[in-house]
Amino acid sequence: MIMKKFLSCVILIFFIFAGCSKKQEQVTEQQPVEEIPEVETFVFYQGTNFNDLLHKSKLQPSEITEILAELKKMVNINNCKPNDFYEVTYSTVVPSWQNFKYFPSSELFFYELTKSTDNIINGQKIQLETTKNRYEISGTIENSLWNSMAAENISPNIIISFANMFAWQFDFLTDTRNGDKFKIIYETETLTKTQNIISAKILAGQYKTATHTFNAIAFKDSKGYENYFDENGKSIKSSFLKAPLQFKRISSYFTKARFHPILKYYRPHEGIDYAAPTGTPVSAIGDGVVIKSQKSGGYGNLVIIKHPNGYSTYYGHLSKYGRGIKKGVRVKQGQVIGYVGATGLATGPHLDFRIQLNVKFLNFLKLKTPPNITLKGQDKIKFDEYKTELLQKLNNL
């Protein structure tokens, strides 16, 4: 009797342990080893190529060969540029790469290679997902446009675009006053995954002083040309910039009788002297052709540019000329044509700037030039319809 009870207990314990073991096996089966992929990223710089940069990774030579062979089917690997980058993902279970992505820096797509468990590689070109955001911001000037707009978390490239947009109407270095108002509507396109900004465009802007309000509205005409226009449909891009350089102060104005500090007698000064440090870039105020680029008496190093409609501009006392600036070269508005210096008859570094219409020198600070473009016909009708909403939003900011 005792022996039967003992055997019954042994059998019961056996089945209990067997059941626990079976349950443990089931739990183990439900929890496979979790894989955490390892990712390497490498950025191209000047002088690097695909082969060199791939050898900086953990990829084996045979893996590099197979990756390059597949990439060549989709893209010219010899055209990689600085700031392009690639990303390679490794398996921590199988000693091999799983995924390879090549991102051309200036494109909205990337190339992807995927390696299956049976070592079959598939390649594809994938479009990046982007997101557009619109911002409507207003603010008040305190000290400078840059600081005031930056305080509203406006990105540097938008601030620069805003200043350049109004460069033909307003000089933000000399004319800005505390209390001036700015308003801006702009749009950005960002990569949805990383939020990196791909492009940014100002749709409309306004700058308001105590006496003037300047408006700018982006509009594309029927010919496909996009420009900024005021509320009347006139291009805000004038024939000439407001100033040929970023200067510290005007040291001498246009006058018919100025006492020359070196020659020690009175004579006409038919230009504007812009005081600025040596080496400050000097820009062409408008499109034209260089008709002189050489030393010229009291002017020192001089550049003369001939513009349409009979205008010519003079840039004197330069320390050196801009790259490629010589007689016969065509230049664009805003292009650097030289650098501030003190060559010729000059007591200190400054730019002697003059503007001439036919044979007569004019006072540049009082010169009014017509806008380049005025919308007409169907373009003007469409613009008037388009501007209403943007101007209303600007005024309501």
pLDDT digits (tens, 9 = 90+) for 30-42: 555 566 778 889 9
Cα-based distances in Å from 191 to 4, 107, 134: 77, 11, 15
Q: Flag residues of the chain having pLDDT under 70.
A: 1-35, 193-194, 246-249, 251-269, 370-371
Q: Check: CB of residue 149 under 8 Å from CB of residue 141.
A: no
Write down the pLDDT at residue 12: 52
Among residues 153, 135, 128, which one has the least CA distance to residue 201? Answer: 135
pLDDT reported for residue 38: 86
pLDDT at site 266: 42
370-396 burial code (b ≥16 CB/10 A, e <16): ebbbebeeebeeebeeebeebeeebee
Whole-Å CA distances, 240 to 59, 164, 215, 251: 57, 13, 18, 21
H-type helices in 253-376, by residue range? none
DSSP, collapsed to helix, strand or coil, labels residue 234 as strand
Q: Report the alpha-carbon distance of residue 373 to residue 227 in Å, rounded.
A: 9
The owner of tokens 């440090």 is 277
pLDDT at 257: 44
Give tens-digit pLDDT for 182-229.
Answer: 999 999 888 776 677 778 899 999 999 999 899 999 999 888 878 899
> How many Å apart are CA 119 and CA 292, to the nearest integer?
67
| Closest to 378 measured CA to CA, from 235, 209, 220 | 220
The enclosing H or E element of 316 equals strand 311-318
In angstroms, the CA 35 to CA 31 distance is 12
Q: What's the pLDDT at 290?
A: 95
Bridge partners (DSSP) listed for residue 109: 127
Q: Which residues contact 375 (CB under 8 A, 6 or more apart)?
A: 219, 221, 229, 233, 234, 383
